[in-house]
Structures are given as structure tokens and as C-alpha cells.
Amino acid sequence: MLLSELTRKQKLKFLDLAFHMAAVDGDPSIQEKRMLNEKLAEVGDNIIAEYSFSLSDNLEETVEFFMNENHRVRNIVYLNLIELLMIGGFYNTTEYFFLEDIRKALRISVEKRKQMIALMFDYKDLRDKAVRLCAK
């Protein structure tokens, strides 16, 4: 969501965070893999061709990169990480604390996080309605 607004380097760094997020509790679930594929499609073929598809050795460096970006970029990145986290409908404490550490590093308020989570629930409801409508 809104990843097309990021620069080339921001997209590559986002993918690194997203793959770390999916792997933080072990192998990515089927839903997480599907969502990662959606994120790959959103960043574009040129980015996919450039991405190494292996976790970086320095996650802290990637987080620091986004700490220095403007609030809009930080919000887009965090919103997409929330979407990845929420895809299965539930998440574990390892994933929660990973995302919470990123939230703090990116200086995103608890209130903004609540708004983003509410948006993701609304988005999921809208997608479910669309599926039901098209099934009839």
C-alpha cells in the first residue's frame, strides 16, 4: 500500500524489513508469502530484478536508514509492515515486539499505530466484501 511512492532505495530497504518481519518467528506462513508476493508486485519488476532475496546481515542498519527518512516514508513503511503482520488474522509476541521496536525507532506514536491497525481492519473488511460480491 503506497509503496510506489517510495524511491528505489527505500523500496529495496522496505523489502529487507518485510522479509525480516516474515522470518522473525521462523519460516513465513502461506499467508505471509502471499502478502510478500503482493509487496513485490507493488514495488515493481525493476526492483525485483535488483533485490537479492536474502536477509541482510545488518537489520539495525536498515532500521537506521528509515529513521532518517521523512515522516511520510516512515508511515508508509510501518503501515505495510502492519499489513504483513495482520495478514493471518493473528500474530505472536515475537512478531509484535519486532514491530513495536521498529515503531519506536521510526518515532511513530501509539495513536498513529492504532489508526493504522484500524485502517487495516477496514481494508480487510472491504476486500472480504469484494470477494463475497464477486462470488454471487
| Torsion 23-7-74-112 (CA) sign | negative
Q: Pick the closest to residue 62 from 15, 98, 113 (CA basis).
A: 15
The model's pLDDT over 22-76, given as tens digits with 9 standing for 90+, comes to 888 777 777 878 888 888 888 887 887 777 666 667 889 999 999 999 999 999 9
Q: What is the pLDDT of residue 46?
A: 82
Mean pLDDT along residues 86-106: 86
Q: What is the pLDDT of residue 27?
A: 75
The model's pLDDT over 97-134, given as tens digits with 9 standing for 90+, comes to 999 999 999 999 999 999 999 999 999 899 899 999 99
Q: What is the pLDDT of residue 23?
A: 83
For residue 27, what is the domain's CATH number?
A: 1.10.3680.10
How many Å apart are CA 111 and CA 115, to the nearest integer? 6
**Exposed/middle/buried for 114, CB within 10 Å: 0-12, 13-18, 19+?**
exposed
Q: What is the pLDDT of residue 26?
A: 78
Q: What is the pLDDT of residue 22?
A: 83
Q: How many other β-carbons are positioned within 10 Å of the β-carbon of residue 12?
A: 18
How many domains, in total, are found in the chain? 1
Q: What is the pLDDT of residue 28?
A: 76
The whole domain housing 104 covers 3-135
